[in-house]
Amino acid sequence: MTFQAPKGVKEYVPPQASTFYAIRGAFAETARRAGYSYLETAVFEDTQLFARGVGESTDVVSKEMYTFTDRGGRSLTLRPEFTAGVLRAVLEYGLHRGQLPVKVWTDGPVFRAEAPQEGRYRQFYQLDLEAIGSEDPAVDAETVALAWQWYTALGLTQVRLMLNSLGCAECRPIYRARLQEFLRALDLDEATRARIEINPLRVLDDKRPEVRAQLEDAPLIGDHLCAACKTYHGQVKQLLGDLGIPWEDAPRLVRGLDYYTRTTFEFDHPLLGAQSGIGGGGRYDGLSEAIGGPRLPGIGFGLGLDRTVIALEREGVALDLPPRCEVYGVALGDEAARAMFKLVSELRAAGVAADMAFGGKGLKGAMKGADRSGAAFALILGERDLAAEVVQVKDLATAEQAEVPLAKVVDVLKGKVK
Q: What are phi and psi of 410, to 5 degrees?
A: -60, -50
For the stretch 306-315, pLDDT in tens is: 999 999 999 9
- Average pLDDT of 217-240? 94
Q: What is the pLDDT of residues 254-295, one digit of tens each?
A: 876 667 889 999 999 999 987 889 999 999 998 999 999 999
Cα 340 to Cα 333, 364, 381, distances in angstroms: 10, 17, 7
Per DSSP, the three-state class of 105 is: strand
Amino acid at 337: A
- Percent of the residues in the chain that have a pLDDT greater than 70, as a whole number: 99
Q: What distance in Å separates the CA atoms of residue 291 and residue 286, rounded to the nearest whole number?
A: 9
Band of pLDDT at residue 57, cut at 50, 70 and 90: low
- Return all residues near 128 (Cβ < 8 A) that are at least 6 apart: 82, 83, 86, 105, 106, 107, 300, 301, 302, 303
Q: Which residues, other chains included, contact 187 with Cβ-Cβ below 8 Å and sequence gap of 6+?
A: 214
Domain 15-168+226-315: CATH architecture, name and number where available: 2-Layer Sandwich (3.30)
pLDDT tens profile 363-391 = 999 999 999 999 999 999 999 999 999 99
DSSP string, 293-354: -----EEEEEEEHHHHHHHHHHHT----PPPS-SEEEEE-SHHHHHHHHHHHHHHHHTT--E
pLDDT tens across 348-363, in order?
A: 999 999 999 998 888 9
CATH entry 3.40.50.800 includes domain 327-413? yes
Using the 8-state DSSP alphabet, how is residue 272 labeled?
A: G
Residue 64, annotated as binding a ligand: no
Cis bond before residue 6 (omega within 30° of 0): no
The answer to whether 255 is annotated as binding is yes
Higher local confidence (pLDDT), 85 or 117:
85
Q: What is the pLDDT of residues 117-163, one digit of tens each?
A: 888 899 999 999 999 999 999 999 999 999 999 999 999 999 999 99
Q: What value does the mean pLDDT take over residues 191-213?
A: 85
Same fold, 15-168+226-315 and 327-413: no
pLDDT at position 172 is 86
Q: How many CB atoms lie within 10 A of CB 99?
A: 10
Q: Domain spans of the chain?
A: 15-168+226-315, 327-413
335 is in an annotated binding site: no
Q: Is 126 annotated as a binding residue?
A: yes
Cα distance between residue 241 and residue 261, in whole Å: 21
Give pLDDT, residue 205: 77
pLDDT at 318 over 70: yes
Establish whether 260 is an annotated binding residue: yes
Task: Decide: helix, strand or coil at residue 1.
Answer: coil
Q: Compute the distance between CA of residue 147 and CA of residue 301 in angstroms, rounded to an integer.
A: 8
- Region of poorest pLDDT, from 101-105, 121-125, 173-177, 407-411: 173-177
Residue 52, pLDDT above cutoff 90: no
User: Does the annotation place 82 within a ligand binding site?
Assistant: yes
Task: Give the pLDDT confidence score for residue 259 in this predicted structure.
Answer: 73
74 is in an annotated binding site: no
Surface-to-core class of residue 387, CB atoms within 10 Å of its CB (0-12 exposed, 13-18 middle, 19+ buried): exposed
User: Tell me: the pLDDT tens digits for 206-217?
Assistant: 878 899 899 988
**Does residue 235 have a known ligand-binding role?**
no
259 annotated to bind ligand: yes
| pLDDT confidence band for 80 (50 / 70 / 90) | very high
